[in-house]
Amino acid sequence: MRIDLKNRLFGLIIGVSFLFTLASCEERWDDPIPEGVSLARATLLSELTEEGNILLMWGNFRICNGWNCVPLAEASSYDLFLKRHGMQNFERLVRLSRGSNEYLFTDVDFGGTYEFFIRSNRAGRQEDSNTVMIVPGKSPEIEPIFDSDFGPHGILHPRLSPSGNQVAYVSDVRFTENGEERRALSLFIFDQQTQEHRLIRRNANQPNWSSDGKRLIYSVTAGSGQTPQGIRPSHLEIFNLDTEEFNLFSGGLHQQATPSFSKDDQEVFFYADSLVSGDFGVWKRDFAGNMTPVFTSFGDGVNLVTGLPVFRGLDVSRINEMVVADHLQLYNDFPVYHIFGFDGSRGGQKVDVLVSQWNDSAPSLSPFDPNKMAFVSDRSGIPQIWMLDMLTGAVNQVTFFGVTQSGMRVSEFGMGISWADNGRALVFPVRGTAGSTALVKATLVD
């Protein structure tokens, strides 16, 4: 009897051990990832539906050289995580099976902040996607100002004049010179009353208005040769609309870009390099020729080989002493655009305005409210227009252009955001899914 009981107990232990071993093997080896293959990392996008729900979409998107691509394996399951307003941490919302590529989230409050990421699972491995943020709200009323069918370079760096009746912008122009076909980014002015476009200057870029609307400052490359370092310098030039005169404001061997008049028009703030490729800082220059560094270098000691410009925009407040500028930096080993500020009333020390895992760029300070700044961000997964309250740090989404629908998109390239209608509207360029570009006005919704 004792021997039989002992044998039964031994058999039970062996059976349980076998079941645990089998379960472990199934967890480890079920749907294995072949050798030399990596688990695909999903890219997550979000969209606000017409019904006010949040549609989440994901896929395995990547760019690589065809001969240098590591083969990818699809996930066996996905875990979707959510952090809603008021929460400190993410919580798992749902587990989805292989082949899933979208999820409709319906528990939505307008004005609330929602963050999501998705985790890919397979054979004991996990890969987390990017995180998206969406702040559901009413879409603004959008009306066209003018459009261009000249491809993605049709409307770049647009700036609405202080009076609101003219727009300075840059477009790609083809022309014949010495019998040869050439093309150049060129400065135009669009008159909203006459609906006429006027060519002002070839080889000009990134215009900005003086506070009285009588002068335009911009970057030019015409007539500048290469430096000993092999870099073509760019100069700053001013066009006087009353006298029709062109005057060189800042020459030399440096690359100078994104100029913006100070609030009293007595100085100009701009980006300039240190004659080292990719190393830019913020400078200011007065009309006596005195040039002063605001912040000499954004270099972080890391060579960002991305093919992206190291900066996209700079703006100066018309109300206080604040200057804002974006710059490409590393964040968790990924290159992203951050926005920094320099407050002249506090000695001009650099402050982090928007430093996050997302690309935030093309800042535009409101000339009507010292605490408001519009900018472009890919927080939702694709570029949209956002708003920052610089006093509270709260961000709100302005545009809700769709991912799945045909129509307009915000482009980060050549972006310029202007304030209109006493701060109740924003003017900025968009591109169509067919490749055309347009300048639009979005009336803000309270």
Longest dimension (CA), the chain: 116
Please provide the DSSP assignment of 372-413 as one string.
Answer: EEEEEE-TTSS-EEEEEETTT--EEE-----SSSSSEEE-ST
The whole-number pLDDT of residue 16 equals: 36
The whole-number pLDDT of residue 1 equals: 44
CA dihedral 149, 360, 329, 391 (to 10 degrees): 150
Residue ranges of the domains in the chain? 38-134, 141-443
CA distance 332 to 284: 32
Instruction: Extract the residue ranges of the chain whose pLDDT is less than 50.
Output: 1-29
The whole-number pLDDT of residue 414 equals: 92
Please name the residue ranges forming H helices in 283-405.
none
Q: Which amino acid is at 417?
A: I
CATH superfamily for 141-443 is TolB, C-terminal domain (2.120.10.30)
The whole-number pLDDT of residue 282 equals: 96
Look-up: residue for tokens 């079920």?
30
The whole-number pLDDT of residue 36 equals: 82
User: Residues of the chain with pLDDT > 70: what percent?
Assistant: 86
Rg (CA), the chain: 27
Q: How far is residue 180 from each of residues 172, 175, 177, 183, measured CA to CA in Å?
A: 16, 8, 5, 10
The whole-number pLDDT of residue 228 equals: 52
pLDDT in tens, 319-358: 999 999 999 998 988 899 999 999 988 888 899 999 999 9
The whole-number pLDDT of residue 355 equals: 96
CA 323 to chain centre: 18
Q: Which amino acid is at 159?
A: R
The whole-number pLDDT of residue 173 equals: 82
Q: How far is residue 303 from each of residues 11, 278, 331, measured CA to CA in Å?
A: 64, 9, 13
**38-134 topology per CATH:** Immunoglobulin-like (2.60.40)
H or E element at residue 61: none
